């Protein structure tokens, strides 16, 4: 039986999966060496989020919560007890959009109450609550009335990550956008103040995806415009610059980005490529 999307994920230890019935869930780890470990949870889980080592377990929306609780558990190893994630003050109303494999791990959420995307760092070492809870520290936020339709990290270092948000079309004629932000990772002790973000640029796009590239070249991503143009962008000197433009023979909309590339890789002839600018280095 194939797990539903979000019901399984992998980290460096192996593959994790949700199971269980009758009001509670279990999380099973099948390690890279073939060992099987099962952890019982206090409530039903709806999704797993992978970290470099361990997972975040998201509870079903109907799960009761107290002030500060996020409905998320951090499980670093199946032999360790799951630890709740909490914010230091206020009520959590966030919807999780992605997690990272950076150190420290990041969690991106959208808060309807704040009308913003918020990046949180997990204080997995030190900064624990009195009951062993893992505290979430806000390290970045950006106003957004609605959550991104897609979000991904496409470059990371010990100091920062590059985050792409694909924002849906807004009322009043607002076009769909792909925004790129450089988000600094927290440094120092758990009580350090949030670090400022730096926007790299925004372009009209209905879809985006990261591009694999050598480590000594600028980070890149591709966007699909509403007019059917596919553009490769590079982040150079903290700015988003166009590197390559593909003119398409047919107009494509949202949801056709990956299908377009699969078809072209199989020998299709529906793409005409034109180099617009040379890709700068550094």
- For every one of its 282 residues, what pLDDT tens digit does the chain have, with 9 covering 90 and above? 334 446 889 889 999 999 876 556 889 999 999 999 999 888 888 899 999 889 999 988 777 666 678 889 999 888 888 999 998 777 888 899 999 988 889 999 999 999 999 999 998 655 455 567 889 989 899 999 999 999 999 988 878 899 999 998 876 556 789 999 999 887 644 444 445 578 999 999 989 999 988 888 899 999 988 877 889 999 998 899 998 876 654 444 444 444 444 344 344 444 433 333 333 444
Q: How far apart are CA 135 and CA 130, in angstroms?
A: 10
Collapsing DSSP to helix, strand or coil, 172 comes out as helix
Handedness of CA 222, 225, 230, 233 (dihedral sign): negative
Collapsing DSSP to helix, strand or coil, 247 comes out as strand
Q: Which DSSP symbol is given to 171?
A: G
CB atoms within 10 A of CB 253: 11
Backbone angles phi, psi at 77, to 5 degrees: -155, 140
Q: How far apart are CA 196 and CA 186, in angstroms?
A: 10
116: cis peptide before it, omega within 30°?
Answer: no
Those residues with Cβ within 8 angstroms of residue 69's Cβ, 6 or more apart along the chain or in another chain: 84, 85, 86, 92
Whole-model pTM: value is 0.79
- Per the CB < 8 A criterion, the answer to whether 55 and 27 are in contact is yes
The number of helix segments (H) and strand segments (E) in the chain equals 1, 21
Q: How far apart are CA 185 and CA 9, in angstroms?
A: 24
Q: Per this entry, what is the length of the chain?
A: 282
Q: Where are the alpha helices (DSSP H) in the chain?
A: 257-265
């Amino acid at each position: 039986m194939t797990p539903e999307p979000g019901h399984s994920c992998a980290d460096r230890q192996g593959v994790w999966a949700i199971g269980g019935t009758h009001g509670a869930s279990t999380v099973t780890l099948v390690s890279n060496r073939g060992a099987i470990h099962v952890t019982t949870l206090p409530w039903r889980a709806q999704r797993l989020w992978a970290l470099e080592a361990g997972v975040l377990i998201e509870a079903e929306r109907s799960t009761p919560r107290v002030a500060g609780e996020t409905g998320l558990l951090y499980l670093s190893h199946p032999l360790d007890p799951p630890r709740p994630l909490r914010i230091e003050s206020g009520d959590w109303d966030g919807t999780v959009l992605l997690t990272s494999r950076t150190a420290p791990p990041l969690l991106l959420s959208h808060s309807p109450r704040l009308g913003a995307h918020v990046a949180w760092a997990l204080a997995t070492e030190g900064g624990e609550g009195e009951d062993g809870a893992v505290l979430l520290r806000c390290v970045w936020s950006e106003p957004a009335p609605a959550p991104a339709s897609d979000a991904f990290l496409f470059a990371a270092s010990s100091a920062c990550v590059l985050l792409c948000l694909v924002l849906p079309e807004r009322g009043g004629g607002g076009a769909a956008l792909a925004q790129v932000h450089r988000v600094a990772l927290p440094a120092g002790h758990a009580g350090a103040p949030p670090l400022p973000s730096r926007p790299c640029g925004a372009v009209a796009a209905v879809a985006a995806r990261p591009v694999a590239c050598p480590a000594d070249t600028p980070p890149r991503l591709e966007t699909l415009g509403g007019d059917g143009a596919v553009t490769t962008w590079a982040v150079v000197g903290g700015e988003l610059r166009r590197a390559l433009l593909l003119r398409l023979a047919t107009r494509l909309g949202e949801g056709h980005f990956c299908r377009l590339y699969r078809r072209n890789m199989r020998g299709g002839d529906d793409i005409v490529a034109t180099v617009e600018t040379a890709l700068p280095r550094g």
